[in-house]
Chains A and B, each alone.
Chain A
């Protein structure tokens, strides 16, 4: 596939929670997004902007109220989560979500490598697959490839998140969704996992949507930056536009686009 070919298209996606009640929330309000093959998009926005809802809709966790999702020219609107998962890899904020604690590393990896394949009555792990697992885990530099039979519950949060990252990418899904995947890690571990992410995404030229709370990261990583506010995309910058940007410029751009003051401190500070 050539670069700059459209991979994922969102057309006027709307998602409303608790419809018809006093708690009604419009989480996505007509989102249009065109993701090109090989894009590394960073999505920022304050709490409740709709970032996670956007990823959930793409991953098929729930269907949108209206709009269309086209992946690789195929309409996947309303397709359920496990079917979407054949072409979507995902790392969650909580390391516990992406990995199974009571199973060994190799069993977790065996679940991950079969993404998109029919599961049958062959042995889940064998010598050949173990080699594959080792090769996938070794570049992390965490020594996980030597601990294939260890239970995942014995790993640290950072190690589990690194494993979750490998599990989400090892079968080379069409698109990778990162949902604030370093937010709960301590600063040093967060940097390690972020570097690993960058290494894998760059190496595999993987189309990626990364949600973050952190403006500094948003400027440093990716070839495109999207800012969401109240269920809409309010800023969309390409690599050149964001190249010489400082955090303050981003705040100004946001305020101009959203028409209001940015008050969420965590997003302003941009640091841990």
Chain B
């Protein structure tokens, strides 16, 4: 059985991971759910954020600025994907796959080699560890994650209720209506996909500093992980309203991370993690159709794009 201290550590670590990967999940929520834009850029932009933060930190830039730069780098990746979609009319899924592949090379260029260690560099975590009264590594991670999450939550919760934020949300619901109300839906799409990947880049930048290294392959499967978090959050909390949705998505990332941590502790091979995540998402996506099939209701064939 698990010791109480182990359980405490497990919970604390899952909260930290849930918050940090929650940024990524929020990005995925923004594209897949709010905009209806299936964006796979995430696997690339996560690493881009991590790589930019790492390289800047190694060259002596303030880690907070480096973290902000990670957000900016992700933003640029999202900007490129959305421009491919809106200005060159390439379907969203394909545009984002193209960006994901292209970003792999860009990430390697930024890093200079496939793996960049951050040991003994000044990161946001090592800065926080100098504050009085903060003992363990887990506490540092929790403090950073909570502060960042609160900032991100308040900014998104405010922005989504503004006139521009409303137009962005409405674009995913009914693009025709939004254009009919005088809004350029190209612009709202570009804005939304950019912000989403900015959040993903931020997540990558923070994760890199917490784990102490960047690997060019660390982004593989991030999109599926983000989707799993979103689906779990929606299923568990059934949220309505901007604020509750944001909390639910981060909560979903927490539950997902908790499940994974427990499974690993119970002896699951780390290598099986991605398959299990994929299966979770497959089940969640298949349920609506299977339910309808049992009730003999009709459902249109899945779109090919």
Contact = CB atoms under 8 A, between A and B. Distances in A.
B162 A121 contact: yes
A119 B177 contact: no
- How many chain B residues sit at the interface, stated as a range, is 20 to 34
Among A112, A120, A124, A168, which residue has the most Cβ atoms of chain B within 10 A?
A124
A111 B176 contact: no
B163 A124 contact: yes
Nearest to A89: B180
Given A81-B179, A85-B181, A124-B166, A102 B161 contact: no
Interface stretch (A92-100, A235-243, A263-271): A92-100
B185 interface: yes
Nearest to B182: A85
Interface stretch (B47-55, B76-84, B167-175, B282-290): B167-175
A29 to B, nearest CB: 27
B164 to A, nearest CB: 5
Contacts of A103: 169-170, 173
A100 B182 contact: no
A82 B183 contact: yes
Interface in A29-44: none
Nearest to A120: B163
B167 A119 contact: yes
A201 interface: no
B180 A124 contact: no
A132 interface: no
A3 to B, nearest CB: 27
Contacts of A122: 162-163
Contacts of B159: 121
Contacts of A89: 180
B89 to A, nearest CB: 14
Contact of A124 (B161, B182, B183): B161
Interface residues of A, number: 35
B248 to A, nearest CB: 15
Contact of A110 (B166, B173, B176, B177): B166
Contacts of A90: 180
A225 B190 CA distance: 43
A97 B170 CA distance: 12
A115 B164 contact: no
Given A82-B182, A111-B178, A102 B163 contact: no
A115 B177 contact: no
Contacts of B183: 82, 85, 111, 119
A247 interface: no
A100 B179 contact: no
B106 to A, nearest CB: 32
B165 interface: yes
B180 A107 contact: no
A100 B188 CA distance: 16
Contacts of B162: 120-124
Interface string A47-75: 00000000000010000000000000000
Interface of B: prevailing SS: helix
B165 A111 contact: no
Contacts of B180: 59, 81, 85, 89-90, 98, 168
A97 B180 CA distance: 10
B177 A98 contact: yes
A111 B161 contact: no
A197 interface: no
Contacts of A115: 181-182
A112 B174 CA distance: 13
Contact of B181 (A101, A102, A114, A120): A114
Given A120-B163, A123-B161, A124-B161, A112 B176 contact: no
Contacts of A117: 182
Contacts of A82: 179, 182-185
A6 interface: no
Contact of A119 (B163, B169, B176, B185): B163
Given A100-B173, A100-B174, A123-B161, A111 B184 contact: no
Contact of A114 (B161, B163, B173, B177): B163
B25 to A, nearest CB: 20
Given A97-B176, A100-B178, A103-B173, 14 more contacts: A81-B180, A82-B183, A85-B181, A100-B173, A101-B174, A103-B170, A107-B169, A111-B166, A111-B183, A114-B182, A119-B183, A122-B162, A123-B161, A124-B165
Of all A-B residue pairs in the complex, the 6 with the closest CB atoms, nearest first, are: A124-B166, A119-B163, A100-B174, A100-B173, A85-B182, A111-B181
27 contacts: A82-B182, A82-B183, A82-B184, A85-B179, A85-B181, A85-B183, A92-B176, A96-B174, A97-B174, A99-B174, A102-B173, A103-B170, A107-B170, A108-B177, A111-B170, A111-B181, A115-B181, A115-B182, A117-B182, A119-B167, A120-B162, A120-B163, A123-B162, A123-B163, A124-B162, A167-B181, A168-B180
